[in-house]
Structures are given as structure tokens and as C-alpha cells.
Amino acid sequence: MSESDSLADQECEPCQGGVPPMESDEIDEYLDEVGDHWEAVDDHHIESHFDFDDFRDSLEFVYDVGELAEEEGHHPDIYLEYGSAEVKFWTHKIDGLHEADFVMAAKVDEIYDEYV
């Protein structure tokens, strides 16, 4: 990735398998490219918590993330609560993290920016 390209501007190219998952040092580099609220858990997945004023905004955010996931062909686990949502990404085919997970995280951040 060149320095002028943001992750959110990239197309998500889901991993087809056959590659190893990212290791800690590479995960850390990609975490620097997404919002500070994203964290890596056991070098397996990334997750973030998003706060909203009410249930309606939380629900609409989850819907928007779901639409993005369908468009990009890369689907997160999403947890909805009153006034919040949690999103988790990892690449199931390699049971770990791939660049596509961070591209999606950056795109989710852009969606969240529309709510705050």
C-alpha cells in the first residue's frame, strides 16, 4: 500500500485461502492505519465497539455495515445493543487476519463517521 492510499479507498479483495494469517508485527502495522478503537484479539481477529445516542442509530449503523459487507463480499460478526454495536472481522478461510479485514475496518470507520 502506498502512503497516499488509505485502506478505506481500497477494494476489499477477500482472501481465497492458501496464505498464512498475518503475524503480530504486520497486524500492528495495519492497526496503525485504522481507528484507535480497533484492537487485535489473540492475533486472530480485530474488533471495535461503536457508541450511539439511541437504538435507532445503532440499528441503522448495523444495517449500513451489513450492506457494505454484502457489496464487498466480506462479512463481520456484528452485535447490536441499545446505543451501541460491536463489529469483529477475521478471515474464516485462513482462521486469522488478512489485509481485507483491515480494509473493511477502515470502511466501517467511514460509515461510523457519518453518525458522529
Query: pLDDT for 15-51, tens place per residue?
Result: 677 889 999 999 999 999 998 999 999 999 999 999 9
Is it the case that residue 115 has pLDDT exceeding 50?
Answer: yes
Say if 13 falls within a structural domain: no
Alpha-carbon gap, residue 24 to 21, rounded angstroms: 10
Domain limits for position 35: 21-113
Is residue 75 a part of any domain in this protein? yes
pLDDT at 11 over 80: no
Domain assignment present for residue 2? The answer is no
Q: What Å distances lie between residue 40 and 52, 58, 77, CA to CA? A: 22, 23, 14
pLDDT of 56 above 70? yes
Give the model's pLDDT for residue 35. Answer: 85
Instruction: Please give the tally of structural domains in the chain.
Output: 1
In a domain, 7, yes or no: no
Identify the pLDDT of residue 14: 64
CATH number at residue 26: 3.30.1360.20
